[in-house]
Structure 1
Amino acid sequence: MTAMRDILVTLIVFASLPFIIKNPVNGVLMWIWISVMNPHTQGWGFATTFPFAQIIAVTTLFSLVTSRMPKMPPSSAVTIALLALVTWMNITTLFAIFPAASLAQLSKVMKIMLMSLVAMAIIRDREDIHKMIWILVISLGFYGVKGGLFTIRGGGNFRVWGPTGTFIGGNNEIALALVIVIPLMRYLQQSCDQRWLKHALSAAMLLSALAALGSYSRGALLAIAAMMALMWLKSQRKMLGGLLIVLLTPLALLFMPDQWSERMDSIGHYQADTSAMGRINAWYMAYNLAKDRFFGGGFEVAEPLVFSLYAPDPTDVHAAHSIYFQALGEHGFIGLGLYLLLGILTWRSAAWVVRNSHHDLELRWAGNLARMIQASLIGFAVGGAFLSLLYFDVPYYLMAAVVAMHALVRQRLQVRP
């Protein structure tokens, strides 16, 4: 069975290459599928280490260079901020505490950033944006449905985990990824006409939420609350949405066993939690490091030597467990500032799309998607405060969608009477 999975993924990837050469948009979609879902990890044979992503990336870049499509992203504050952040990461690597490890990590991060910029360059119209959202929903929704059924079958007594060796392999990471994808499912539900598909997406949303709870992630619980609150605020039917939240939330919480409730209750007693105190120790280390070194420590600073110099407890060595303190420790105050600026500009750009598409039926889809992306980003902003997911690629793909929608709405406003 596992060999069949390896063969299936290999056939899909190589069969897609002619379509990628014909249209680089197909390459971006395939890259997102491979990098987000990591389907090759679901087998146990040769596919687990085969360089599918590299093959797709090279083919996509070749197709982009040889095509007549625009080679640069649309001019926007979001793309400028992303380019500034990427440039700063390269600068901080020159002053890294551990040059070899930092350079190796820079290579991995730059691949993600390059393909994010490629997505911004060639994802330009509604159809391409819609396809990208579908790919993200399928890629993460697979684990949401699977994890939700696992939670139901086990009565919530066992933790949900993501695919091993990926960004979302841990229980906390897969939970946050599912929080991000639920609003995107809602957008697709709003966009489709088929009744069966609407019901399928409703089931996928419920199962994904249950899987996020089944991960036993305390950060994910806070992220779910923030995401649901924003989805409710952005909803045009607040009465119905509020009623569903009031009815379904207690049922989901009551379904979970006592051990889950005890873990969630520990949020209010973090002083007695060694994991929480370890994170706070890492946050102090990142702050002290950034104060001492203008360029930060570079990539991969969660090492005993660094903690011995900057942490209150030098023996408690932890990863940052926060996108904000990860940016601060690795890239200094300027790196953190650029990252926050990127998030703020993306949010403002999405809000601009909502404002300027409200009274245009042809742009209503863009307003709906922009609202749901805002809900996804607020969930990531809250849950990411407790996870080292600074380089997680899904938020950058959502930025690409916002950039494309902003350009489309602006074009529409220029020609609209």
Structure 2
Amino acid sequence: MLRSLYLTLAFFSFIGVGLAAPFALSLGYIWISIFRPQAIAYTILPSIPVSLIMGALAVGWYLLRDRRSPPHFSPVLGMMAAMAAWVTLTTAVFAVAPDSAWEKWDWAFKTIVFSGFMVFVFRSRIQIEALLQVLLFSFAAHFLPVGIKVVLSGGGYGQALGLIGGNSGFGEGATLAAVALMCIPIALFLAKHNRLMPAWPIVRLGYIGMAGLAVMATIGTYQRTGLVGLVVLAITFWVRSRQKLLVGTGLGIGAIVFALSVSSNWAERMSTISEYQSEGSALGRILVWQWTLGFVANNPFGGGFHSYMINEFTSQPTPEYPNGYTVRGKAFHSIYFEALGEHGWIGLGLFLAINIATLLSLQRVIRRTRGSEALAWCRDLAAALQVSLLVLLACGAFIGIAFQPMFWYLFAASGCLSHHVGRAFAPDVAARRQQALGAGVGTRGNAIAARPWRGAAGG
């Protein structure tokens, strides 16, 4: 009961603060969509449409009170709008499992649309940091308990370690591992550039400790996806570092210590990566990917959300299954095949284009802010968001999270940062333009004054 009261108080606190600062209502919606208090509370919140209430208040109060400095049109915003329209079309016209497709459309469409809306709301440094803080702590509520349990007693494959049980969402180990790794660059950024929290050494250590527990949570899930993400995270940190020798040496020593300290069960689980042709879980993924390619060959526009529900295939004989086995309704287990199977080549193209455009936008932020001490935080945040997105893209090759908030909120945060930098440079750009115009007028005026008067010359 105390948990329910606490979460209910937190819900209404977002509303109360949001009446004075409209962007806090959007923070409340983000908290609800990630932390999911209605799924954790025992009473009160489960009976209230918390997501609908907070989302309606966020959009309505923004329109009434907060329509300042809207962002200019950008390719990412345009592609977000196109994706929202396209997934609606594929669900309405091409869905092969309509009832299930509309269920997923209900939350996926809202995730895409609200992510685009976030770019209008979070404009200042404080607002963008508040967005990062809510993202980090909402995700951390799921992986921190896992990291603590792993430190105290170890993890295990298939164990329910987080807040939410089951084998979906954050209750699924691979998704939890991907989210934990995604949050590490954000936590390290806040350890360096945090302004909303007290500037105490213990706060900085807290963020660093959160990153460490994220690594432990990843290891404790015993997920091969987590190992892939850890490798990508280490490589990107090394590439981004200015002291590559020192960082590389540290990573190498850490890898050796890690390899010597992990349990034999964990090592055995990771070793199955090379046995994908016979290991049941990995083989199932390959078979469903093959089915997806065959499906879109005949259905180039995809089959709508949850189109995997109609798949059926039989595996080849393996040592584990001498007679093979038949699989029906196996999920895509990959963001790329999820987007392809559900929304065809256009859907996959849009999803990849949004990711690429976001990475390029962040790289432009890094380039534009190089040499500006006042915008050093923008440069570091752009690098952190790039690393987080690359980790998700690597982990996502083996899990179906293409329309989950972790991707789309990263797109939104990147858009907020890009538009903030654009506003910061706008006065300089305007001044240079005015100066150039003034110089042009002066040059033309001097030329006219120096030009001989034809009438006088002729007379």
Query: TM-score, normalization: structure 1?
Result: 0.93
Distance 1:58 1:205, change over 3 A: same
Which of 254, 264, 267 matches 2:270?
264
Measured against aligned partners, the alpha-carbon deviations of 1:175-221 in whole angstroms (never above 9, x if no partner) come to 11101101101111121453212211121111110110100110111
Q: Which residue of 2 aligns with 1:37?
A: 35
Do 1:24 and 1:61's aligned partners in 2 also have CA atoms closer than 8 Å?
A: no
Q: Which residue of 1 aligns with 2:174?
A: 172
The structural deviation recorded for 1:70 is 4.6
The structural deviation recorded for 1:49 is 5.4
Distance 1:288 1:70, change over 3 A: farther
Residue 314 of structure 2 is aligned to residue 286 of structure 1: no
Distance 1:66 1:160, change over 3 A: same
Q: Which residue of 2 aligns with 1:307?
A: 312
Amino acid at match of 1:133: L
Quote the Cα distance in structure 2 between the aligned partners of 1:311 and 1:208. 36
The structural deviation recorded for 1:62 is 1.7
What 5-or-longer segments of structure 1 have no aligned partner? none
1:229-378, aligned counterparts within 5 Å?
229-303=235-309, 305-307=310-312, 315-317=326-328, 318-378=330-390
Residue 129 of structure 2 is aligned to residue 130 of structure 1: yes
Deviates more, 1:375-384 or 1:31-40: 31-40
The structural deviation recorded for 1:73 is 4.9
Q: SS of the counterpart of 1:362?
A: coil
Q: SS of the counterpart of 2:265?
A: helix
Quote the Cα distance in structure 2 between the aligned partners of 1:56 and 1:358. 38
- The number of equivalent residue pairs is 413
Quote the Cα distance in structure 2 between the aligned partners of 1:346 and 1:190. 23
Query: TM-score, normalization: structure 2?
Result: 0.85
Quote the Cα distance in structure 2 between the aligned partners of 1:32 and 1:356. 29
Identity among equivalent positions (%) equals 26
Q: Which residue of 1 aligns with 2:58?
A: 60
Q: Which residue of 2 aligns with 1:379?
A: 391
The structural deviation recorded for 1:367 is 0.7
Which of 392, 399, 409 matches 2:411?
399
Q: Which residue of 2 aligns with 1:212?
A: 218
The structural deviation recorded for 1:246 is 2.4
Quote the Cα distance in structure 1 between the aligned partners of 2:49 and 2:259. 41
CA-atom RMSD, angstroms?
Answer: 2.2
Measured against aligned partners, the alpha-carbon deviations of 1:265-300 in whole angstroms (never above 9, x if no partner) come to 110111111111111111112111111112211111
Quote the Cα distance in structure 1 between the aligned partners of 2:202 and 2:362. 30
Distance 1:203 1:44, change over 3 A: same
Q: SS of the counterpart of 1:168?
A: helix
Greater C-alpha radius of gyration = 2
Quote the Cα distance in structure 2 between the aligned partners of 1:237 and 1:140. 30
Deviates more, 1:370-379 or 1:146-155: 146-155
Quote the Cα distance in structure 2 between the aligned partners of 1:22 and 1:251. 51
Quote the Cα distance in structure 2 between the aligned partners of 1:239 and 1:200. 27
Do 1:64 and 1:71's aligned partners in 2 also have CA atoms closer than 8 Å?
A: no
Quote the Cα distance in structure 2 between the aligned partners of 1:252 and 1:74. 47
Quote the Cα distance in structure 2 between the aligned partners of 1:191 and 1:40. 32
The structural deviation recorded for 1:160 is 6.0
What 5-or-longer segments of structure 2 have no aligned partner? 317-323, 433-459
Q: Which residue of 2 aligns with 1:146?
A: 145
Distance 1:68 1:320, change over 3 A: same
Which of 201, 208, 213 matches 1:195?
201
Q: Which residue of 1 aligns with 2:454?
A: none
Distance 1:157 1:296, change over 3 A: closer
Amino acid at match of 1:234: R
Q: Which residue of 2 aligns with 1:97?
A: 96
The structural deviation recorded for 1:252 is 3.3
Quote the Cα distance in structure 2 between the aligned partners of 1:411 and 1:67. 20
Deviates more, 1:276-285 or 1:146-155: 146-155
